[in-house]
Structure 1
């Protein structure tokens, strides 16, 4: 089997409001300056690149690249150009089963979202060629259903509490609050959420690099003293400040999770060496795909750290890929983040559309797809509607 073509389709999905507030709530790193709305993109939307790999035997793999200038620094124009003119041509004529060789051939600095689209399409293709689900390529099945966590945008305490209650009506039983502004104010936000959801619901927090070291320590100590049951604090300080994150971790009881600081295996190795985190946030778009994500999970396991699979949005193939990764990885802890299922739903064909949508089942879980490859198919009519022309 040989690769004959690598194609891309640019997608824009309109959404009601921008995903995260940037004015006075959430991480102050983004207040008034890092919003996604511009003169070129005046309406709220999220954008993706669908990646299709074709072969001479008629087997086709479909993946996707998340694109975002705000978090990843990889807008859709960049991702599509990289795949079409740099990464895709390196695959032509190659055996798609040679994952290590092919993914190494595109291992240039950065560009993790573009790499992830190639990686997901390769895994989907190989799974389809063998007639097995992707989780079997990744180590077999640890779990068949995956608990869902949803992000809660920063805002007034009452609004964040109401957002949780609305999501609970859809079956959600775990949340991650976007904070990182003023520690005392953020504690009031978490207190309102906890009062609304009760003691049995998971609440994580994410500062998105917004705190100083002292602010992060203050937030944790205040939350601990009030018994708010915060599961962890994600990326409390700037991604480059590994020593500062290590100081926060050594000063509090709350678990500290690395996210923006943990893209590659090399990043994670550095975090481990400096004892800077208790938990590693793995995003498929950060890692550059499933293959690298499994390596990060193995590295974390060797160091005695747990992993959270974080949200980076997704049309459907990436949602399925996260489920396969969670299904095949012992070190993944608790709920997996799927904010996208409430943000814009999915353009999948049945039965995947219904299976990977809200409302969730009684335990707040999504099922792991069991069909060949990623186990989902895009709806051609919906994709045609969403294609950027």
Structure 2
């Protein structure tokens, strides 16, 4: 079997409402569908998510990177030659979400070729994951109402709360959420690098009182000294996200004491690198949580497949309901969240993503 084509199809899905966070506001899902075709029929698919304000990749840059660099270099390759594919991806710097999507599509292709689920091939640890709902910044009343609705509609009891430079307001919001959700709800925060070390340290006591168990990227990703100060202050563990986008940077975060948890995003690091980062976290007894890249149903299915495959991630809640904030999908069947959990289908071949070609034709934005 040989790869005959790698294509990138840009599409845009509407949001039900804007999503606000410290690093910017997202108004639509401008993503790219990656397809890898072979001479024997099986085809792998995945989703590349553009977040230019965080990763420096746009929809246009992803499409061009596939067209100019990755498609020609992968043509003719045996898709089962994992290290050869990784060498091709490493030959281009940056472009992490493009590479991640290609790697996931290759895993999807391999599973289809052998008639087995990727979930089983990766590890088959659990058939379901507890779901975390991500709350954007906004008024206390609106955010609390959204959290209550997620619990009522889907049984979700784990929440990541976006915070920004107005830390006093953020603490008031967290207190309101704790009153609404009760002591059993799991809460952690994400500052998207918007705070200073001093602000964070001053807030740790109150965060601990409110039962917040993780602080994700409180300070700029390059501020290792600031992170070390926060970690030394204790009370709440730091989770690295944007500062741990590669195996090497994840190793720096964990071994310097800058973080004690990692947000692993398969859409950003693919399955191959994500599994290596996960092994690093487990070896250093650090927590590993499946994060959201702003995925549509495609990325949600692939992230759930990865997270449920490994015991170390399957025991943690995963950010897997972001797709519900989109106005439509381009898959034939979207994930269903019941009693606060999302399930993977162990009977499918590959990742189990089936593209609705009519929906794709409607939402694609290329010629």
Pairwise same-fold verdict (TM > 0.5): yes
Give the corresponding residue for 1:9.
Answer: 9
Q: Which residue of the other structure, out of 359, 362, 366, is the alignment partner of 1:382?
A: 359
Task: Provide the rounded CA distance (Å) in 1 between the counterparts of 2:8 and 2:166.
Answer: 42
2:53 is paired with a residue whose SS is: coil
CA contact (8 A) 1:256 1:279 kept: yes
SS in 2 for 1:170: helix
Q: Which residue of 1 aligns with 2:320?
A: 338
2: CA distance, partners of 1:340 / 1:385: 22
Cα shift readout 1:275-295 (whole Å, capped 9, x = no counterpart)? 1111011112332x1110000
Aligned match for 1:242, one of 195, 212, 224: 224
CA contact (8 A) 2:101 2:268 kept: no
1:57 and 2:33 aligned: no
1:304 partnered with 2:285: yes
Once the two structures are superposed, what CA deviation does each residue of 1:302-361 show, in whole Å capped at 9, x if it has no partner? 111010111112233321111111112222242100242221153221xx32xx04xx21
Please say if residues 186 and 219 of structure 1, whose CA atoms lie closer than 8 Å, have aligned partners that are also in contact. Answer: no
Q: Distance in 1 between matches of 2:174 and 2:65?
A: 41
Query: Partners in 1 of 2:153 and 2:210 — Cα distance?
Result: 24
Residue in structure 1 matching 2:248, options 259, 266, 275: 266
1:116 and 2:100 matched: yes
Whole-angstrom distance in 2 between the partners of 1:220 and 1:347: 42
Which residue in the other structure is 2:343 paired with? 367
Q: Which runs of 5+ in 2 are unaligned?
A: none
Q: In 2, distance between residues paired with 1:340 and 1:126? A: 27
| 8 Å Cα contact 1:91/1:102 also seen in 2 | yes
Secondary structure in structure 2 of the residue aligned to 1:86? helix
**Contact kept? 1:323, 1:369, Cα under 8 Å:** no
CA–CA separation in structure 1 for the residues paired with 2:112 and 2:200? 46
TM-score where L is the length of structure 1: 0.89
More helix by share: 2
- Matched position secondary structure for 1:71: helix
Number of the residue aligned with 2:273:
292
- What do you get for the CA RMSD once the two structures are aligned? 1.4
Aligned to 1:207: 191
1:196 corresponds to which residue? 180
Unaligned runs of 5+ in 1: 21-25, 37-43
Shift of 1:35: 4.3
For 1:328 and 1:271, the matched residues in 2 are separated by 24
2:134 aligned with 1:157: no
Q: Could you tell me which residue of structure 2 aligns to residue 127 of structure 1?
A: 111
In structure 1, C-alpha distance between the alignment counterparts of 2:211 and 2:136, rounded to whole Å: 19
Q: Give the structure, 1 or 2, with the largest relative contact order (CA under 8 Å, sep 6 or more).
A: 2
